[in-house]
Every structure is written in structure tokens, then in C-alpha cells.
Amino acid sequence: MKRIAILGSTGSVGTQTLDVIAHDRERYSVEALTAGHNIELLLKQIEQFQPKLVSVHTKEHAEEIKLRTNNNIQVFWGAQGLLAAATDTDADLVVTAVMGSVGLDSTLAAIEAGKHIGLANKETLVSGGHLVTDAAAKYGVRLLPIDSEHSAVFQCLNGEEAKAVKTIILTASGGSFRDKTRDQLKGVTVEQALQHPNWSMGAKITVDSATMANKGLEVIEARWLFGADYDHIRVLLHPESVIHSMVEFIDNSVIAQLGNPDMRIPIQYALTFPGRHITPTAPLDLAKIGNLSFREMDLTRYPCLAMAYESGRLGGTAPTVFNAANETAVSRFLRGEISFLGIEEVIAETLEQQVVVPVRALPDIREADRWARLVASSVQPLSS
């Protein structure tokens, strides 16, 4: 039996993790769940999965949970509650599916508590790449990627020697605007940006797919997860999103992982690694899909991806600044403050103004993040 804690159990990855667990109930015990404000869903999850510990965003939520559950369950709240869920249980594996920078703190804490990590929080490796990978090595814990691309690479690397890897090839659908020229991007609306062709995801990540900022963050994550340098991480346009990513080896053999666009496959793999188990997902039907297509990635078409590579290569606080500037810019776009092309301008201007410093500890990241959000909030893009 595997003992699991899920940080962010009411979000997309959290609920799908519980769906995987529900389909093979005897294999898992749920040690801890945490949520933000979605108390009703959390209460249902508590009833179904009987965690020993839960944590929520506020004291009020915590009191409500206490009132509506039995006394066997420990209820915490806030940042300390999240850390308790990450560290103070018998969990073997902590799924870190919270959004934003709190994910980094709680992932680091879980690693230091000797927990293997099912990693679904982007900031963790983008901002804290070397802190987190150093800690994972020091405490002997596994970082098991929970997203389709990195799980694909992780699966392709199964049984292979690190020195045999030539190139990590991340596939990208191209997002909702993949068939538009840069000129055609000028007038696009928020509504158009939210139509992702293959995956149903949140607004932020759907916009990030359209700008390719999302793929840029994945490139930075891949650098840390797989110890590859940026010259050996490529992005290939693959509109159908059936090949989730690939590894090219030094003998020019390429191993790819394929599947339906169903997050439960990478989630389950992180839970069952190094084994595999039967799944509630549908099998892939390549004959029905018929065609897979591939195009070279054009970095001038997708400047956010180019800026992500540049930030990754700069290192230090640069990826944190890139990520924070992007988040701020996307929020402003979603609020109608700036245009779609304004997103990349805001990021570019913020990167332009930054002073990159090394990341020695979490405060360096927090300061860079705070600074970048401030700058990105005030930049007035020309194209808005």
C-alpha cells in the first residue's frame, strides 16, 4: 500500500489524482489533503478518502471543516497547515499540485522530510531548480513529474543511462493560435485565447499554451528534472499532442511516449512508479487518429519561448522573473488590460530591467518574484 498526501486536492491535478486512487482503492491510503477555498469539495473528498490530516486556506474554513467532520482528523490552515500536510504524515509520496510559489516551499519541506515528490507545481523547478534537485539528491527522494511532457520523457528514459541521452524533445501543440501569423495575433480576444485544441485546462495555462510560455517553463523544468543543458532540449510542434514527448539517444534511436490527452496517465505513473497498473483511462487508437504531424518550432513566432530559453540560460533569479512577469502579464490580459501580444512585451520589458542574482535560498526567489510582479504590473505595452 502506498501512502499519499495531496497538496491541492480540489484542483485539476488533485481531483484527477483522487480519481486514480478511487479506481484502485486497496493500493493506496490517503494521508493528507489540502485545499484553498473549495470547502464543499474537500468535505466530499474527506468522506470518501478518510485522510488523517487536512489543511485549508483560512482559519474560518478550518473551523467549518472541524464542525462538519469527526474528531479523528487533524485540521490545519494557512502556510503552516500546508507544511504540516507536506511533512507531518506517514506519506511515502507527496503530490504537490498547489498553484504558485507556495508549491516551492512545501515541496522543499516534503523533500527534507524524506518524501518522494509527485511534482505538478511549475514554480518548484522553474524558480528553485537547483535548490530542489540538490535537496532531492541529499535526502534521496525521487522527483516524479506529473505532467504529460515530463512524464513522457521520464518514461522514455526508463532503463537508459544518462550518458546515452542526446536530446530531449518536448512536443508542443502550438496552442489555440497555432495557425495564425504574428500579424493575425493583433486582434485576438481573451475568448479566442481560451480555446485550446487538445487539452481542457485552466485559463492561465491555456493562454500560456498560446504564447508558448508554458512550453518555455517546461523547458526550464526539463533542464532540472533530467540534468540536460538547454542546447539539448528542443521543442517540436506536434498539433495532435499524441506524442507527449521524446528522447533522442546518441545512437539516433528515438523513444517516444504516446497516449490520449488524459492527465490520469502521468498522475498514475508517478503513483505507481517504477511499476505500472491498470488504469481508468481509454486506450490510444492510432488508426482512428490517423495522422500525426510535426513542424519545426519557430522561436520568432513564439518570443515567449525564446525568452524562457534565455532566462534559463541566464540562471539565478532570471527564470523566477520570467515566470512572475508572465503570470502578471497573463492576468492583465485576462482582465482586458493589455492585448495578447502585450503579454510578451510586458515580459520582455521586465526581463530587460532585471538584475540577475544567484539563488542561494528561498528569500532570493521571493524577492525576485515580488520585484518582477511589481514591474510587470506597471509596464505599458505599445500593442495594448
Interface ranges with a copy of itself (CB under 8 A) = 155-156, 158-161, 164, 236-237, 243, 246, 248-260, 262, 265, 268-269, 272, 274-279, 281-284, 286-287, 289-296
Shorter beta-carbon distance to a copy of itself: residue 22 or 190: 22
Burial class of residue 200 (count of CB atoms within 10 Å of its CB; 0-12, 13-18, 19+): exposed
Nearest-approach distance from CB 42 to a copy of itself, in angstroms: 27
Q: Which helix (H) or strand (E) holds 171?
A: strand 165-172
Shorter beta-carbon distance to a copy of itself: residue 251 or 352: 251
Nearest-approach distance from CB 319 to a copy of itself, in angstroms: 27
Q: Distance between CA atoms of 250 and 166, rounded to whole angstroms?
A: 5
Residues paired with 248 in a beta bridge = 167, 254
Nearest-approach distance from CB 16 to a copy of itself, in angstroms: 14
Q: Distance between CA atoms of 105 and 244, rounded to whole angstroms?
A: 29
Nearest-approach distance from CB 255 to a copy of itself, in angstroms: 6
Q: Which three cell numbers stand for residue 303?
A: 518570443
> What angle, rounded to 10 degrees, do the helices at 340-353 and 303-314 form?
20
Residue 129: half-sphere exposure toward Cβ, Cα within 13 Å: 26
- Let me know how long the chain is: 384
Q: Distance between CA atoms of 154 and 253, rounded to whole angstroms?
A: 16
Shorter beta-carbon distance to a copy of itself: residue 220 or 235: 235
Shorter beta-carbon distance to a copy of itself: residue 26 or 296: 296
Shorter beta-carbon distance to a copy of itself: residue 86 or 170: 170
- β-strand 28-34 against 53-56: which pairing, if any? parallel
Shorter beta-carbon distance to a copy of itself: residue 262 or 337: 262
